[in-house]
Amino acid sequence: MNKPRLLEELFPNHPYADWLSGSCEPWTVGIICALIQATSPRFLLETGTLEAMTTLRMHCASGEDSTLISLECMKDRWEEASTKCLDLKGVTILNVEAVAFLLNYKGPKFDFVFLDDDHGVDHVAMELDLLHNFATGEGLMAPGGIICIHDVHGTFGLGAIVVARHGFLLNLPILHKSGGLGILQTPVRPA
Ligand SMILES: C[S@@+](CC[C@H](N)C(=O)[O-])C[C@H]1O[C@@H](n2cnc3c(N)ncnc32)[C@H](O)[C@@H]1O
């Protein structure tokens, strides 16, 4: 039986040595970045910036020709994260509430989204439906776009709303504490 281990033991000298609870687990970010590297998305979105730890790695994975918007509703966190990302070409951190942003968004469709803001079921369900409504085929995602949803296991109960939208759930119980990752892809061809 694998026992939970300290992050420093699992990843000695890892750049995530300053990882704090609240940031996405490094191995889960690794999966997100692998999906980005595999699909070369042009327009990316992250909801919930916190310290921009995942933002930085998503940017590294997608490259300077991509556009990455990250949303943070708390002003102090947004200020700190914006300063961190100031020199990163194509990265914008916005101080905005995520659903309000999605409701008003008129820009290019997203190829890749990482949902990691408010984990309430109704909130995430609304975000998913605005990104891609599987009943109508409408939304802000490009065909074949990928949406990753953090913490689908455990107390939040997000797994069911991901599965209901044809997504699947990746749980990593052997890798220390993890809330798991939901992954769904919008249809490659519009209905
Ligand atoms: C789990 S943390 C994000 C962690 C970050 N994605 C990472 O991997 O390092 C959630 C963040 O979302 C922000 N947040 C919560 N609800 C939000 C909302 N409705 N809109 C935008 N940001 C929100 C919180 O202030 C917090 O900083």
Expressed in angstroms and rounded, the spacing between residue 189 Cα and the centre of ligand 1 is 31
Q: How far is the CA of 2 from the centre of ligand 1 (A)?
A: 30
Distance CA 50, CA 71 (A): 9
Closest CA to 180 of 146, 152, 147, 148: 152
* pLDDT, position 1: 43
Classify 68 as helix, strand or coil: strand
Q: How far apart, in whole angstroms, are the C-alpha atoms of residue 172 and residue 34?
A: 16
* 135-163 tens-digit pLDDT: 999 999 999 999 999 988 877 789 999 99
What architecture is domain 25-185?
3-Layer(aba) Sandwich (3.40)
Pocket perturbation via mutation, ligand 1, pick of 16, 21, 29, 50 by most ligand atoms within 8 A of CB: 50
pLDDT at 4: 53
72 lines ligand 1 (CB under 6 A): yes
Whole-number pLDDT of residue 179: 81
**Whether pLDDT at 3 is above 60:** no
Q: Check if 53 has its Cβ closer than 6 Å to any atom of ligand 1.
A: yes
User: For residue 58, how many C-alpha atoms fall within 13 Å in the half-sphere facing its CB?
Assistant: 31
Q: Which atom of ligand 1 sits closest to the CA of residue 50?
A: 27
3-state secondary structure 81-119: HHHHCCCCCCEEEECCCHHHHHHHCCCCCEEEEEECCCC
Model confidence over 26-77: pLDDT tens digits? Answer: 888 989 999 999 999 999 999 999 999 999 999 999 999 999 999 999 999 9
Task: Provide the pLDDT for residue 172.
Answer: 65
On average, the pLDDT of the chain sits at 89
Q: Is 69 in the pocket of ligand 1 (CB under 6 A)?
A: no
Instruction: Say if residue 19's pLDDT is above 80.
Output: no
Closest CA to ligand 1's atom 4: 23
**Looking at ligand 1, which residue's alpha carbon is closest to its atom 16?**
118
Check: pTM over 0.85? Answer yes or no: yes
pLDDT value of position 171: 76
CA of 166 to the centre of ligand 1 (A): 25
For the chain, give every domain's residue range. 25-185
